[in-house]
Structure 1
Amino acid sequence: MDLIARLRDGLPGEAILTDPDVTGAYAHDMASFCEAGSPAVVVLPRTVEQVQHVMRTATALRVPVVPQGARTGLSGAANASDGCIVLSLVKMDRIIEINPVDRIAVVEPGVINAVLSRAVNEHGLYYPPDPSSWEECSIGGNIGTASGGLCCVKYGVTAEYVLGLDVVLADGRLLKTGRRTAKGVAGYDLTRLFVGSEGSLGIVVRAVLALKPEPPQQLALAAEFPSTAAACDAVCEIMARGHAPALLELMDRTSIRAVNAMANMGLPESTEALLLAAFDTPDPAADLAAVGALCTAAGATDVVPADTPAESDLLLQARRLTLTALERVKSATMIDDVCVPRSQLAAMLDGTAAIAEKYGLTIGVCAHAGDGNTHPTVCFDAADPDESRRARESFDEIMALGLELGGTITGEHGVGVLKKEWLARELGPVGLEMHRGIKAVFDPLGLLNPGKVF
């Protein structure tokens, strides 16, 4: 019995897509320079049992499976391989439970981040991880890539909010990890193992997520600096003095100009760096005043605090638009994701500027400055072979710079196809061997997302 016939034994007809014009739309995520194959079939299950049927079929026929969420990823982790089953989880989009007493939510992987955030807000609760693509990205994808967001400097990343998982293994068995309780240390932490595994160890079909009480509304400020070094000095002072901003973001001059060109926001194009800080404390105005003074002492030429949440939202909108705006500079972009110690943030930004000059390219940088997580975005003409080559070489130099500064090749976007070679350099031979050993335990036939991560 062939693949499609076996899949139809356990899936409704509308859950199986075979038209090449349709399946081709599921072949890749949003990353540049990442190869993608042609899937044999796309399946869209709605239940755990249907996912189990897909994996049992794949194991029986030795067919690779590529799990997918909303395909907003930036590393090629969701890219299809030739002849694979693309397992799209977008139809598994139920919020099963929101429990204000236990402060948890139980969700399926296809739930959109913003949908969950708004749903828990109605209960006076808060789900902090907020990737820039939060209106489109799914919780399953967030778990797969261990994603972060703008508020991570205070509240942490996705891994810190995943308490337990239901995971369909490569052979179709259902594994339950973790807990629903506030505490729990029984056994190895398999939950954390799956967070960030990019679909290479199993298919997440349900997640228990920790929630926090909804904080007061944020107030933000914008500080203009004559150099990125001065802005980074301010970041270091803010953190060293014990402040706990809910958000601490940086935009360089290239990013500012791109946002102005797209949205006419009137940002100060004469500045070299714009630092955005926000507080959701009981007295945010006092915190902003203290941080504003530190910015001025570090060399800020202007500090503009917002008086209302609406003004704050306007300031922060500029940061959320940055990557979209940079995508309009040229026909293609490569978005890097290098995280360095905060103390090395200035060296990372200045080094990136030198790389842009060396290769004659536009490279805009926005950063979760409070985390040291930079997003250098290489803008290039995909139709120009020489410019594409220079873009790839500059991308590699940026990652090498991050490692030299004691950083990591990815803070939140994942490895996928794009950074496989760089992961091997970061892990070293012993670390890589251990990763491969873990993969072999969970996926001995190598069917789950082959060719990704390592």
Structure 2
Amino acid sequence: MTDLVARLRAGLPADAVLTDPGVARSYANDMASFCAAGSPAVVVLPRTVEQVQHVMRTATALRVPVVPQGARTGLSGAANASDGCVVLSLVKMDRIVEINAVDRIAIVEPGVINAVLSRAVAEQGLYYPPDPSSWEECTIGGNIGTASGGLCCVKYGVTAEYVLGLEVVLADGRLLSTGRRTAKGVAGYDLTRLFVGSEGTLGIVVRAVLALRPAPPEQLALAAEFPSTAAACAAVCTIMERGHAPALLELMDRTSVRAVNALTHMGLPESTEALLLAAFDTPDPSADLAVVGQICTEAGATEVVPADDAAESELLLQARRQTLPALEAIRPATMIDDVCVPRSRLADMIDGTAAIADKYDLTIGVCAHAGDGNTHPVVCFDAADPDESRRARESFDEIMALGLELGGTITGEHGVGVLKKEWLARELGPVGVELQRGIKSVFDPLGLLNPGKLF
């Protein structure tokens, strides 16, 4: 420990090396439930690429594990510390290096907050689409690490589709450049995509080249109430089958609707079984909403409420944004699942989750990025109650098993981390795991980068 700290301080400012045990413990975990976290030996907060390289060279020389972190808003334990590790927090590397309107790119450091980047590019008439729910807090580095998504994925895609190039510090301190800043580029293997979603297990992202889009028109939204999940999901399938391109297509089950009412007193209809929210940012969003509203009515919606302007749209969308805080208010703890299924099986996933909630006598609310089949079942429980905690964990596992049974995946945007290691192995199969471990060994032969995650 003494040698480690001394060597780190030789290449870092004094205030960038934190050794107080209480402070170090505050960096031990992200926001995931049921994920073990160790005690870090030291926390470092570099500000430059060279300082990150120094940390990795020191760690390699002393064979000390390193756990990279961003804002620690993750929900899978990917940022959790291991015993005796160096926690490498990248939040101080928060510069927007360049915004180029001609090339439609931004070059940023990993600690840049998603919302800060979004607002900065908007000032130049540009748009960075990925918008995780934690966008006011989460960092671009964390978004890249977990290949995160957001509400707009149905039209604009996820983080991976906007990362053109990276600078990455490898486990031994070498600096690797991947990708490009051009619109096209197919030279060699796509190492950029390999790092996106790797959760800090292959290298430390220290700079990213991100694709931007022209800013779209303001959204207009509608809300549609349905008497059943099946009817709401049938509307979703028809909307997508007919080629419509909503900027947002979100679904809330009855548990989520009632939770939002209890928290916000918004007056949402508690008789509804499913509330569908759709938004368009097209040149004529009112016309698109009218067509989608008719589709919802034909599918069995009991009421369709379109917004007249952006302010009304924002009021409608607040219900969806308040879902997680509302469910968190029900019980002292929540476990947020992240299962993505084919759109055609969305109703089966949501109704199956309701059956699991009944089986385990738990409150489980589901909100979903319905347009891409990504569901977020939220298991509400009391972590201080051993029996309730057991039931919560078992229900979580059954939800993931259901997702795989329906042809889905265990994570659409939150990552694997510690929480879903066992389930990743089930999804990939033994050959897939063997090959992925082989890739890991090429980049990190000593196994120092974020050990215990993914596999």
**Shorter-chain TM-score: what band?**
over 0.9
1:267 is displaced (CA, Å) by 1.2
Within a 5 Å distance, the mapping from 1:320-399 to structure 2 comes to 320-399=321-400
Aligned length: 454
Residue 67 (structure 1) aligns with: 68
Instruction: Measure how far apart 1:318 and its partner are.
Output: 1.2
CA distance in 2, matches of 1:398, 1:99: 44
Equivalence map 1:152-231=2 (5 Å): 152-231=153-232
SS at structure 2 position matched to 1:92: coil
- Give the deviation of 1:268 after TM superposition: 1.2
The answer for the alignment partner of 1:442 in structure 2 is 443
Alignment partners' CA distance in 2, 1:167 and 1:311: 43
Partners of 1:343 and 1:291 in 2: CA distance: 18
| CA displacement 1:361-410 (0-9 Å, x = unmatched) | 00000000000000000000111000000000000000000000000000
Task: Tell me the amino acid that sits aligned with residue 428 of structure 1.
Answer: G
TM-fit CA distance, 1:260:
1.3
Asked whether 1:94 is paired with 2:95, we answer yes
Q: Alpha-carbon deviation of 1:259?
A: 1.1
1:245 aligns to 2:238 (yes or no)? no
Consecutive unaligned residues of structure 2, counting only runs of 5 or more, are none
CA RMSD, 1 decimal:
0.5
Report Cα offsets for 1:330-389 as digits up to 9, x if no partner: 010110000000000000001000000000000000000000000000000111000000
Distance of 2:272 and 2:359 partners within structure 1: 22
SS in 2 for 1:56: helix
CA distance, structure 2, for counterparts of residue 161 and residue 286 of structure 1? 29
Structure 2 counterpart of 1:88, one-letter code:
S
Match of 1:36 in 2: 37
Matched to 2:307, the amino acid is A
Matching residue's letter, 1:118:
R
The equivalent residue for 2:147 is 146
Q: Following the alignment from structure 2 to structure 1, what is the Cα–Cα distance between the partners of residues 342 and 417?
A: 23
Amino acid at match of 2:129: P
Cα drift, residue 201 of structure 1: 0.2
Shift of 1:263: 1.5
Q: Deviations over 1:3-54 (max 9, x none)?
A: 0000000000000111111111100000000000000000000000000000
Give the aligned partner of residue 282 of structure 1: 283
What is the CA–CA distance in structure 2 between the aligned matches of 1:285 and 1:133, rounded to whole Å?
A: 29
Instruction: Tell me how far apart the structure 2 counterparts of residues 363 and 216 of structure 1 sit (CA, whole Å).
Output: 36
Secondary structure in structure 2 of the residue aligned to 1:294: helix
- Matched to 2:27, the amino acid is Y
Q: Distance in 2 between matches of 1:376 and 1:175?
A: 38
Measured in 2, the distance between the counterparts of 1:438 and 1:326 equals 39
Distance 1:417 1:51 in 2: 24
Q: Equivalent residue of 1:11, what SS?
A: coil
CA drift at 1:165: 0.1
- What residue in structure 2 maps to residue 299 of structure 1? 300
What SS class does the counterpart of residue 38 from structure 2 fall into? coil
Q: In the alignment, which residue of structure 2 is the partner of 1:26? A: 27
| Residue 207 of structure 1: how far off its partner (Å) | 0.1
Name the % identity: 87
Instruction: Give the whole-Å Cα distance in 1 for the aligned partners of 2:370 and 2:315.
Output: 19
Q: Give the secondary-structure state (helix, strand or coil) at the position aligned to 2:98.
A: strand
Q: CA deviation at 1:325?
A: 1.3
**Are 2:411 and 1:418 equivalent residues in the alignment?**
no
- Cα drift, residue 86 of structure 1: 0.2
TM-score by length of 1: 1.00
Quote the residue 2:428 is aligned against: 427
**What code does the residue aligned with 1:155 have?**
Y
Q: Distance in 2 between matches of 1:258 and 1:94?
A: 39
Consecutive unaligned residues in structure 1, runs of 5 or more? none
Q: How far apart, CA to CA, are the structure 1 residues paired with 2:315 and 2:82?
A: 42
| SS at 1:304 equivalent | strand
Paired letter, 2:49: V
Following TM superposition, the consecutive aligned residue runs of length 4 or more in structure 1 with deviations greater than 4 angstroms are none
Q: Could you tell me which residue of structure 1 aligns to residue 235 of structure 2?
A: 234
Question: 3-state SS of the aligned residue for 2:436?
Answer: helix
Matches of 2:368 and 2:212 in 1, distance apart? 25
Partner of 2:124: 123
Residue 2 of structure 1 aligns to a residue whose secondary structure is helix
Which amino acid in 2 is paired with 1:399? M
Q: Which amino acid aligns with 1:333?
A: T
Cα drift, residue 316 of structure 1 = 0.8
Q: How far apart are residue 151 of structure 1 and its match?
A: 0.2
- Equivalent residue, structure 2, for 1:134: 135
